[in-house]
Amino acid sequence: MYIVCSDLEGVFVPEIWINVAEKTGIEELRLTTRDISDYNILMRKRLSILDRHGLKLKDITDVIAAMRPLDGALDFLDWLRAKVSVIVVSDTFTQFAGPLIAQLGWPTLFCNTLVVSPVGRITDYRLRQPDGKRRSVEALKSLNYKVIAMGDSYNDITMLKTADHGILFRPPSNIVDEFPEFPVTTGYEELKPIYEKILASEG
Tell whether the model's pLDDT for residue 35 goes beyond 90.
Answer: no
Binding residues for substrate, as ranges, are 15, 46, 90-91, 133, 155
Consecutive H or E run containing 108: strand 108-116
Taken in order 57, 112, 6, 107, is the CA torsion positive or negative? negative
pTM of the model: 0.90
CA 115 → CA 71, 95, 125, 130, distances in Å?
Answer: 32, 10, 5, 17
Tell whether the model's pLDDT for residue 203 goes beyond 60.
Answer: no
The CATH T-level fold of domain 2-16+67-200 is Rossmann fold (3.40.50)
Domain boundaries, the chain: 2-16+67-200
Strand partners, 3: 85, 147
Binding residues for Mg(2+), as ranges, are 7, 9, 152
Is 27 labeled as catalytic in the residue annotation?
Answer: no
Q: Going by C-beta distance under 8 Å and a sequence separation of 6 or more, which residues neighbour residue 102?
A: none
Is 62 labeled as catalytic in the residue annotation?
Answer: no
What is the per-residue pLDDT across 113-147, written as a single tens digit (0 to 9) for each? 999 999 999 999 999 998 999 999 999 999 999 99
The pLDDT score that the predictor gives to residue 36 is 83
What is the per-residue pLDDT across 41-65, written as a single tens digit (0 to 9) for each? 999 999 999 999 999 999 999 999 9
Q: Among residues 7, 35, 178, 181, which one is catalytic?
A: 7
The pLDDT score that the predictor gives to residue 34 is 80
Q: Among residues 9, 156, 164, 178, which one is catalytic?
A: 9
The pLDDT score that the predictor gives to residue 189 is 95
Tell whether the model's pLDDT for residue 155 goes beyond 60.
Answer: yes
Tell whether the model's pLDDT for residue 37 goes beyond 90.
Answer: no
Q: Going by C-beta distance under 8 Å and a sequence separation of 6 or more, which residues neighbour residue 113?
A: 93, 94, 95, 125, 126, 128
Binding residues, as ranges, are 7, 9, 15, 46, 90-91, 133, 152, 155
Distance of CA 101 to the CA centre of its chain: 12
